[in-house]
Amino acid sequence: MHRSSATSLIHKATYATSKTLTIGLIPGDGIGKEVIPAGQRVLEAIGKKHDIRFSYEHLDAGWQTFLETGNALPGATVEALRERCQGALFGAVQSPTTKVEGYSSPIVALRRQLGLYANIRPVKSVSGTGQPVDLVIVRENTEDLYVQQERTYVDAATGKRVAEAIKRISEPATERIAEISLRLALQRQRMGGRGALTVTHKSNVLSQTDGLFKEVCREVYEANKKSYGSIEYNEQIVDSMVYRLFKEPHCFDVVVAPNLYGDLLSDGAAALVGSLGLVPSVNVGNNIIIGEPCHGSAPDIAGRGIANPIATIRSVSLMLQFLGLEEAASDIDQAVTGNLKDRQVVSPDLGGKNTTQEVLDDILARI
């Protein structure tokens, strides 16, 4: 199998040499059922071009799975990913807006159970799809309010309900996310980029939790000045970060944030490049890489065949990049860029009239 050396990986996972990579396919709900098959088609095309063999595990998770089985994330899905897969693609989840007994987000649980500690979301524009943007948002993936430890009680003094949630920030998780962010900034610098890291926080209000996040990120940077001294290090309060992200996106290179802020910033940043349908991500762990488009399940267009597959296709590229298959990843990126620059085959979210299949076919032809 054609692979670059482990030193090309941004994170430090080492994968066993194999003639076949096993990829889990988890469509989930809504348009996930349309875009994940498109991702598989791209894997098959790029595998044929680069002589890479893929096998697939078709796996269940999501709201529909919960309705059918009472479990949004079956144990068999987790076992397959943990025991047999080197990579995976996760589509989308349609979660209820009110509490449903026994239901919790399967992707949040999956990140926690598989140790997927970093969610990495590049946001890069192509000519004609938005203002010039080229940044990466690195989101700590296992803590913050996403530990999902909440309670509701009746206040004795007022007789009214009160809801509380735990926000958890730990030193080990913050060290890990700071390290991968600095490695990413250094890699981008070596490829001709700016090489800057911006730590996003709200420590002026949350002095202990966000204060710890900011403090530990700086400690990791200071302790590794020999390696990362060329990196420009910045800190930004999250509310002013939102303002600057939309007014001055060119000022940012790599942005690292706790889980909630990273979620909000990365979805908002998609507006800078035209659509959530363009923005990919990967969930990075020590033993598996899971590609995940940033859009949701989009129930309003599900089943109509007009979902933009590009976020998923770009997530395929990211997954392969983190698995060390950089040439294959680059070919996918070039095919997507060609499609976006030509603007001849365009899905409705970008102002076009083409179907999911037509966009996919155009990209496959370019591969």
Using the predicted structure, report yes or no on whether residue 14 has a pLDDT greater than 70.
no
Classify residue 98 by burial, with Cβ atoms within 10 Å: 0-12, 13-18, 19+.
Answer: exposed
Per-residue pLDDT tens over the stretch 63-80: 999 999 999 999 999 999
- The architecture of the domain spanning 16-119+278-366 is 3-Layer(aba) Sandwich (3.40)
The pLDDT assigned to 1 comes to 37
The pLDDT assigned to 4 comes to 35
Asked whether 322 and 180 are in contact (CB, 8 A), the reply is no
Distance CA 71, CA 60 (A): 10
Using the predicted structure, report yes or no on whether residue 323 has a pLDDT greater than 90.
yes
Q: What is the mean pLDDT of residues 12-32?
A: 77
Classify residue 69 by burial, with Cβ atoms within 10 Å: 0-12, 13-18, 19+.
Answer: exposed
Residue 187: pLDDT band with limits 50, 70, 90: very high
- Helix, strand, or coil here: 278? helix
- Give the count of beta carbons closer than 10 Å to the beta carbon of residue 247: 9
What tokens does 282 get? Answer: 């990967």
Q: What is the mean pLDDT of residues 335-353?
A: 94
Listed residue (155, 79, 120, 133) closest to 315, CA to CA = 120
Distance CA 54, CA 207 (A): 48
Asked whether 123 and 269 are in contact (CB, 8 A), the reply is yes
Using the predicted structure, report yes or no on whether residue 261 has a pLDDT greater than 60.
yes
Distance CA 169, CA 207 (A): 11
The pLDDT assigned to 302 comes to 94
The pLDDT assigned to 130 comes to 54
The pLDDT assigned to 8 comes to 41
Asked whether 89 and 25 are in contact (CB, 8 A), the reply is yes
Listed residue (286, 355, 277, 284) closest to 92, CA to CA = 277
Q: What is the mean pLDDT of residues 80-84?
A: 96
Distance CA 212, CA 170 (A): 8
Asked whether 87 and 291 are in contact (CB, 8 A), the reply is yes
The pLDDT > 70 percentage for the chain reads: 94
Query: Do 130-272 and 16-119+278-366 fall under one CATH topology?
Result: yes
Q: What is the mean pLDDT of residues 47-58?
A: 96
- Give the count of beta carbons closer than 10 Å to the beta carbon of residue 82: 15
Distance CA 220, CA 230 (A): 14
Q: Please identify which residue in the block is written with the tokens 């950089």.
A: 326
Q: What is the mean pLDDT of residues 95-123?
A: 91
Residue 87: pLDDT band with limits 50, 70, 90: very high
Residue 18: pLDDT band with limits 50, 70, 90: low
Q: What is the mean pLDDT of residues 234-257?
A: 95
Task: Kindly write down the DSSP assignment for every residue of 192-245, as one continuous string.
Answer: TS--EEEEEE-TTT-TTHHHHHHHHHHHHHHHTHHHHTTSEEEEEEHHHHHHHH
Per-residue pLDDT tens over the stretch 299-316: 999 999 999 999 999 999
Distance CA 219, CA 300 (A): 46
Q: Name which residue leads in pLDDT, 274 or 145.
A: 145
The pLDDT assigned to 131 comes to 66
Q: What is the mean pLDDT of residues 87-114?
A: 91
Task: Kindly write down the DSSP assignment for every residue of 12-43, as one continuous string.
Answer: -------SEEEEEEEEESTTHHHHHHHHHHHH
Q: In the chain, what are the domain boundaries?
A: 16-119+278-366, 130-272
Distance CA 302, CA 353 (A): 16
Using the predicted structure, report yes or no on whether residue 219 has a pLDDT greater than 80.
yes
Task: Please name the amino acid found at residue 291.
Answer: G
The pLDDT assigned to 336 comes to 96
The pLDDT assigned to 91 comes to 96
Using the predicted structure, report yes or no on whether residue 283 has a pLDDT greater than 90.
yes
Listed residue (45, 41, 31, 100) closest to 72, CA to CA = 100
Summary mean pLDDT of the chain: 91
Q: Name which residue leads in pLDDT, 271 or 30.
A: 30
What tokens does 322 get? Answer: 């983190």
DSSP state of 292: -
The pLDDT assigned to 354 comes to 97
Domain 130-272 in CATH 3.40.50.970? The answer is: no
Q: Name which residue leads in pLDDT, 290 or 6.
A: 290
Asked whether 36 and 93 are in contact (CB, 8 A), the reply is no
The pLDDT assigned to 271 comes to 86
